A and B are shown apart, each in its own frame.
Chain A
Protein backbone atom coordinates (compact mmCIF):
# COMPACT_ATOMS: atom_id res chain seq x y z
CA UNK A 1 0.00 0.00 0.00
CA UNK A 2 1.28 3.42 -0.81
CA UNK A 3 -0.16 6.90 -0.28
CA UNK A 4 0.88 10.06 -2.08
CA UNK A 5 0.42 13.64 -0.97
CA UNK A 6 0.40 16.02 -3.92
CA UNK A 7 2.25 19.29 -3.36
CA UNK A 8 1.16 22.31 -5.38
CA UNK A 9 2.92 25.66 -5.09
CA UNK A 10 1.01 27.15 -2.15
CA UNK A 11 -0.14 23.89 -0.55
CA UNK A 12 0.30 24.25 3.22
CA UNK A 13 -1.37 21.20 4.77
CA UNK A 14 0.77 18.73 2.85
CA UNK A 15 3.05 18.03 5.82
CA UNK A 16 0.08 17.51 8.14
CA UNK A 17 -1.39 14.91 5.78
CA UNK A 18 2.02 13.25 5.35
CA UNK A 19 2.50 13.19 9.13
CA UNK A 20 -0.88 11.54 9.73
CA UNK A 21 -0.36 8.84 7.08
CA UNK A 22 3.22 8.05 8.10
CA UNK A 23 3.12 8.46 11.89
CA UNK A 24 -0.51 7.95 12.94
CA UNK A 25 -1.92 5.60 10.30
CA UNK A 26 1.54 4.06 9.84
CA UNK A 27 1.57 3.55 6.07
CA UNK A 28 4.16 4.38 3.41
CA UNK A 29 3.66 7.82 1.89
CA UNK A 30 5.49 10.11 -0.53
CA UNK A 31 5.25 13.77 -1.36
CA UNK A 32 4.42 14.18 -5.06
CA UNK A 33 5.44 17.47 -6.68
CA UNK A 34 2.78 18.90 -8.98
CA UNK A 35 5.06 18.59 -12.01
CA UNK A 36 4.94 14.79 -11.83
CA UNK A 37 3.10 13.15 -14.71
CA UNK A 38 2.61 9.63 -13.35
CA UNK A 39 1.00 8.20 -10.22
CA UNK A 40 2.00 4.60 -10.97
CA UNK A 41 2.57 2.59 -7.81
CA UNK A 42 0.19 4.57 -5.61
CA UNK A 43 -3.13 3.35 -4.22
CA UNK A 44 -4.42 6.67 -2.94
CA UNK A 45 -3.47 10.31 -3.32
CA UNK A 46 -4.36 13.26 -1.13
CA UNK A 47 -4.80 16.76 -2.53
CA UNK A 48 -4.06 18.77 0.61
CA UNK A 49 -5.31 22.08 1.87
CA UNK A 50 -3.64 25.42 1.34
CA UNK A 51 -3.66 28.19 -1.22
CA UNK A 52 -2.43 26.64 -4.46
CA UNK A 53 -1.28 29.40 -6.83
CA UNK A 54 -2.31 31.94 -4.18
CA UNK A 55 -6.00 31.27 -4.97
CA UNK A 56 -5.47 33.52 -8.01
CA UNK A 57 -8.48 33.77 -10.35
CA UNK A 58 -10.55 31.34 -8.20
CA UNK A 59 -9.57 28.89 -5.47
CA UNK A 60 -8.21 25.81 -7.25
CA UNK A 61 -8.65 27.29 -10.72
CA UNK A 62 -4.98 27.35 -11.71
CA UNK A 63 -3.95 24.15 -9.91
CA UNK A 64 -6.19 22.16 -12.24
CA UNK A 65 -3.69 22.89 -15.04
CA UNK A 66 -0.72 21.48 -13.10
CA UNK A 67 0.81 18.52 -14.98
CA UNK A 68 -0.04 16.11 -12.15
CA UNK A 69 -3.76 16.73 -12.59
CA UNK A 70 -3.83 14.77 -15.86
CA UNK A 71 -2.36 11.85 -13.93
CA UNK A 72 -4.92 12.39 -11.13
CA UNK A 73 -7.76 12.18 -13.68
CA UNK A 74 -6.35 8.94 -15.10
CA UNK A 75 -5.78 7.61 -11.56
CA UNK A 76 -9.40 8.38 -10.61
CA UNK A 77 -10.71 6.82 -13.83
CA UNK A 78 -8.83 3.62 -12.92
CA UNK A 79 -10.80 3.48 -9.67
CA UNK A 80 -7.88 4.46 -7.42
CA UNK A 81 -8.64 6.69 -4.46
CA UNK A 82 -8.44 10.47 -4.42
CA UNK A 83 -9.08 12.54 -1.30
CA UNK A 84 -9.29 16.31 -1.66
CA UNK A 85 -9.21 18.31 1.55
CA UNK A 86 -10.21 21.99 1.60
CA UNK A 87 -8.20 23.52 -1.26
CA UNK A 88 -7.94 19.95 -2.58
CA UNK A 89 -11.76 19.80 -2.73
CA UNK A 90 -11.81 23.14 -4.55
CA UNK A 91 -9.27 21.79 -7.08
CA UNK A 92 -11.30 18.58 -7.64
CA UNK A 93 -14.41 20.67 -8.40
CA UNK A 94 -12.50 22.99 -10.73
CA UNK A 95 -11.05 19.94 -12.50
CA UNK A 96 -14.55 18.46 -12.93
CA UNK A 97 -13.65 15.37 -10.93
CA UNK A 98 -16.46 16.38 -8.59
CA UNK A 99 -19.63 18.30 -9.49
CA UNK A 100 -20.48 21.80 -8.31
CA UNK A 101 -18.26 24.61 -7.06
CA UNK A 102 -17.08 26.26 -3.85
CA UNK A 103 -17.68 29.98 -3.57
CA UNK A 104 -17.08 32.65 -0.96
CA UNK A 105 -18.49 31.95 2.52
CA UNK A 106 -21.89 33.53 3.00
CA UNK A 107 -20.60 35.80 5.80
CA UNK A 108 -17.38 36.61 3.85
CA UNK A 109 -15.19 35.59 6.80
CA UNK A 110 -12.31 33.18 6.82
CA UNK A 111 -13.66 30.65 9.33
CA UNK A 112 -11.27 28.54 11.40
CA UNK A 113 -12.99 26.42 14.06
CA UNK A 114 -14.08 22.93 15.02
CA UNK A 115 -17.42 21.97 13.47
CA UNK A 116 -19.65 18.94 13.72
CA UNK A 117 -20.22 16.75 10.67
CA UNK A 118 -22.86 14.10 10.24
CA UNK A 119 -21.87 11.05 8.23
CA UNK A 120 -24.54 10.67 5.54
CA UNK A 121 -23.11 7.68 3.70
CA UNK A 122 -21.03 4.97 5.37
CA UNK A 123 -20.83 2.94 2.19
CA UNK A 124 -17.84 4.74 0.68
CA UNK A 125 -14.15 3.79 0.81
CA UNK A 126 -13.61 6.81 3.06
CA UNK A 127 -16.32 6.12 5.65
CA UNK A 128 -16.57 2.34 6.20
CA UNK A 129 -15.20 2.79 9.72
CA UNK A 130 -17.98 5.22 10.66
CA UNK A 131 -21.60 4.67 11.64
CA UNK A 132 -24.56 6.09 9.74
CA UNK A 133 -25.54 9.39 11.35
CA UNK A 134 -22.36 9.47 13.44
CA UNK A 135 -21.32 12.99 14.42
CA UNK A 136 -17.64 13.81 13.86
CA UNK A 137 -15.77 16.78 15.28
CA UNK A 138 -13.34 18.08 12.65
CA UNK A 139 -12.05 21.63 12.09
CA UNK A 140 -12.67 23.83 9.09
CA UNK A 141 -10.36 26.63 7.92
CA UNK A 142 -11.53 28.33 4.75
CA UNK A 143 -12.96 31.44 3.12
CA UNK A 144 -14.39 29.66 0.07
CA UNK A 145 -16.27 26.63 1.34
CA UNK A 146 -19.78 27.55 0.33
CA UNK A 147 -20.85 24.62 -1.85
CA UNK A 148 -23.11 25.47 -4.78
CA UNK A 149 -24.61 23.37 -7.55
CA UNK A 150 -27.68 23.47 -9.77
CA UNK A 151 -30.92 21.63 -8.89
CA UNK A 152 -30.25 18.80 -11.33
CA UNK A 153 -26.79 18.13 -9.85
CA UNK A 154 -28.21 18.31 -6.34
CA UNK A 155 -30.88 15.69 -7.13
CA UNK A 156 -28.20 13.42 -8.59
CA UNK A 157 -26.02 13.85 -5.51
CA UNK A 158 -28.92 12.86 -3.28
CA UNK A 159 -30.10 9.94 -5.42
CA UNK A 160 -26.61 8.45 -5.73
CA UNK A 161 -25.68 8.89 -2.08
CA UNK A 162 -22.87 11.23 -3.05
CA UNK A 163 -23.41 13.57 -0.11
CA UNK A 164 -21.01 12.06 2.42
CA UNK A 165 -20.82 14.74 5.15
CA UNK A 166 -23.19 17.51 6.25
CA UNK A 167 -22.60 20.25 8.81
CA UNK A 168 -24.78 19.56 11.85
CA UNK A 169 -25.24 20.65 15.47
CA UNK A 170 -24.02 18.68 18.50
CA UNK A 171 -27.14 16.51 18.33
CA UNK A 172 -26.53 15.63 14.69
CA UNK A 173 -29.38 17.79 13.41
CA UNK A 174 -28.95 19.59 10.09
CA UNK A 175 -29.83 23.22 10.87
CA UNK A 176 -29.11 26.62 9.34
CA UNK A 177 -27.29 27.62 12.54
CA UNK A 178 -24.92 24.67 12.14
CA UNK A 179 -24.08 25.67 8.56
CA UNK A 180 -20.87 27.73 8.86
CA UNK A 181 -20.53 28.93 5.28
CA UNK A 182 -23.89 28.86 3.51
CA UNK A 183 -23.31 25.56 1.68
CA UNK A 184 -26.31 24.17 -0.15
CA UNK A 185 -28.10 21.68 2.11
CA UNK A 186 -25.23 21.96 4.67
CA UNK A 187 -22.95 19.98 2.35
CA UNK A 188 -19.43 19.57 3.80
CA UNK A 189 -18.18 16.71 1.63
CA UNK A 190 -19.22 14.83 -1.50
CA UNK A 191 -17.94 11.93 -3.55
CA UNK A 192 -18.19 11.10 -7.24
CA UNK A 193 -20.65 8.52 -8.59
CA UNK A 194 -18.06 5.74 -8.38
CA UNK A 195 -17.30 6.84 -4.79
CA UNK A 196 -13.52 6.65 -5.23
CA UNK A 197 -13.07 10.44 -5.24
CA UNK A 198 -14.00 12.39 -2.11
CA UNK A 199 -13.79 16.12 -1.53
CA UNK A 200 -14.39 17.72 1.85
CA UNK A 201 -13.87 21.20 3.26
CA UNK A 202 -13.11 20.12 6.87
CA UNK A 203 -9.57 19.02 7.70
CA UNK A 204 -9.53 15.41 8.99
CA UNK A 205 -5.71 15.51 9.13
CA UNK A 206 -6.01 18.13 11.88
CA UNK A 207 -8.14 15.81 14.02
CA UNK A 208 -6.15 12.58 14.31
CA UNK A 209 -4.41 12.99 17.67
CA UNK A 210 -5.75 13.62 21.19
CA UNK A 211 -3.39 16.56 21.55
CA UNK A 212 -5.33 18.33 18.79
CA UNK A 213 -8.68 17.97 20.52
CA UNK A 214 -10.26 15.26 18.36
CA UNK A 215 -9.32 11.98 16.74
CA UNK A 216 -12.47 11.75 14.61
CA UNK A 217 -10.58 12.58 11.42
CA UNK A 218 -8.61 9.39 11.77
CA UNK A 219 -11.75 7.41 10.92
CA UNK A 220 -11.53 8.71 7.35
CA UNK A 221 -7.89 7.70 6.90
CA UNK A 222 -8.42 4.34 8.63
CA UNK A 223 -11.48 3.66 6.44
CA UNK A 224 -9.42 4.30 3.33
CA UNK A 225 -6.53 2.20 4.61
CA UNK A 226 -8.88 -0.68 5.42
CA UNK A 227 -10.46 -0.43 1.96
CA UNK A 228 -7.06 -0.64 0.29
CA UNK A 229 -6.08 -3.59 2.51
CA UNK A 230 -9.26 -5.41 1.50
CA UNK A 231 -8.46 -4.83 -2.19
CA UNK A 232 -4.90 -6.10 -1.68
CA UNK A 233 -6.19 -9.32 -0.06
CA UNK A 234 -8.34 -10.18 -3.07
Chain B
Protein backbone atom coordinates (compact mmCIF):
# COMPACT_ATOMS: atom_id res chain seq x y z
CA UNK B 1 0.00 0.00 0.00
CA UNK B 2 1.34 3.40 -0.95
CA UNK B 3 0.47 6.95 0.04
CA UNK B 4 1.30 10.01 -1.98
CA UNK B 5 1.47 13.40 -0.30
CA UNK B 6 1.57 16.67 -2.21
CA UNK B 7 2.66 19.74 -0.25
CA UNK B 8 2.08 23.12 -1.86
CA UNK B 9 2.52 26.70 -0.71
CA UNK B 10 -0.73 28.38 0.25
CA UNK B 11 -2.06 30.90 -2.27
CA UNK B 12 -0.56 34.29 -1.50
CA UNK B 13 2.67 32.94 0.02
CA UNK B 14 5.49 34.19 -2.19
CA UNK B 15 7.37 31.39 -3.97
CA UNK B 16 10.70 32.88 -5.11
CA UNK B 17 11.91 29.49 -6.39
CA UNK B 18 8.81 29.06 -8.53
CA UNK B 19 9.31 32.58 -9.89
CA UNK B 20 12.95 31.84 -10.78
CA UNK B 21 11.90 28.63 -12.57
CA UNK B 22 9.16 30.53 -14.39
CA UNK B 23 11.72 33.12 -15.50
CA UNK B 24 14.08 30.44 -16.84
CA UNK B 25 11.25 28.67 -18.66
CA UNK B 26 10.36 31.94 -20.39
CA UNK B 27 14.01 32.57 -21.26
CA UNK B 28 14.05 29.19 -22.99
CA UNK B 29 11.26 30.42 -25.22
CA UNK B 30 8.34 28.41 -23.83
CA UNK B 31 5.17 30.39 -24.26
CA UNK B 32 1.74 30.60 -22.61
CA UNK B 33 3.15 29.97 -19.14
CA UNK B 34 1.26 32.16 -16.67
CA UNK B 35 2.78 31.04 -13.39
CA UNK B 36 4.86 28.27 -11.82
CA UNK B 37 4.74 27.32 -8.15
CA UNK B 38 7.04 24.75 -6.63
CA UNK B 39 5.90 22.13 -4.13
CA UNK B 40 7.05 18.88 -2.52
CA UNK B 41 5.99 15.32 -3.23
CA UNK B 42 6.36 12.35 -0.87
CA UNK B 43 5.82 8.62 -1.45
CA UNK B 44 5.14 6.64 1.71
CA UNK B 45 5.08 2.83 1.80
CA UNK B 46 2.47 1.58 4.25
CA UNK B 47 1.72 -1.69 5.95
CA UNK B 48 -0.87 -3.41 3.73
CA UNK B 49 -3.00 -4.40 6.75
CA UNK B 50 -4.38 -0.89 7.01
CA UNK B 51 -7.77 0.01 5.60
CA UNK B 52 -7.85 2.93 3.17
CA UNK B 53 -9.50 5.12 5.77
CA UNK B 54 -6.93 4.17 8.45
CA UNK B 55 -4.13 4.86 6.00
CA UNK B 56 -5.64 8.21 5.09
CA UNK B 57 -5.94 9.21 8.76
CA UNK B 58 -2.37 8.12 9.52
CA UNK B 59 -0.78 9.86 6.55
CA UNK B 60 -2.85 13.02 7.03
CA UNK B 61 -1.57 13.23 10.60
CA UNK B 62 2.02 12.83 9.38
CA UNK B 63 1.49 15.45 6.69
CA UNK B 64 -0.02 17.89 9.17
CA UNK B 65 2.62 17.41 11.86
CA UNK B 66 5.77 16.86 9.82
CA UNK B 67 5.65 17.10 6.04
CA UNK B 68 3.80 20.41 5.78
CA UNK B 69 3.95 23.58 7.85
CA UNK B 70 0.24 24.50 8.06
CA UNK B 71 1.18 28.17 8.52
CA UNK B 72 2.40 28.42 4.94
CA UNK B 73 1.53 25.14 3.20
CA UNK B 74 -1.42 23.00 2.19
CA UNK B 75 -1.26 19.26 1.64
CA UNK B 76 -3.22 16.61 -0.22
CA UNK B 77 -3.08 12.87 0.50
CA UNK B 78 -3.76 10.06 -1.98
CA UNK B 79 -3.87 6.40 -0.96
CA UNK B 80 -3.13 3.65 -3.51
CA UNK B 81 -4.22 0.25 -2.27
Contacts and interface: CB of A to CB of B under 8 A. Distances in A.
Interface of A: 57-58, 61, 65, 93-94, 99-101, 103-108, 146, 148-150, 182
B71 A101 contact: yes
B14 interface: yes
Contacts of B69: 58, 61, 94, 101
Contacts of B14: 103, 106, 146, 148, 182
27 contacts: A57-B66, A57-B67, A58-B69, A61-B66, A65-B66, A93-B71, A94-B69, A99-B71, A100-B71, A101-B69, A101-B72, A103-B13, A103-B14, A104-B15, A104-B16, A104-B17, A106-B14, A107-B16, A108-B16, A108-B17, A146-B14, A146-B16, A148-B71, A148-B72, A150-B71, A182-B14, A182-B16
Contacts of B71: 93, 99-101, 148-150
Contacts of A101: 69, 71-72
A87 to B, nearest CB: 15
B50 interface: no
Interface residues of B, number: 11
B1 interface: no
B67 A103 contact: no
Contacts of A107: 16
B68 to A, nearest CB: 9
A106 B66 contact: no
Contacts of B66: 57, 61, 65
Given A103-B72, A148-B13, 15 more contacts: A57-B67, A58-B69, A65-B66, A93-B71, A94-B69, A99-B71, A101-B71, A104-B15, A104-B17, A106-B16, A108-B16, A146-B14, A146-B16, A148-B72, A182-B16
A1 to B, nearest CB: 34
Interface in B18-65: 20
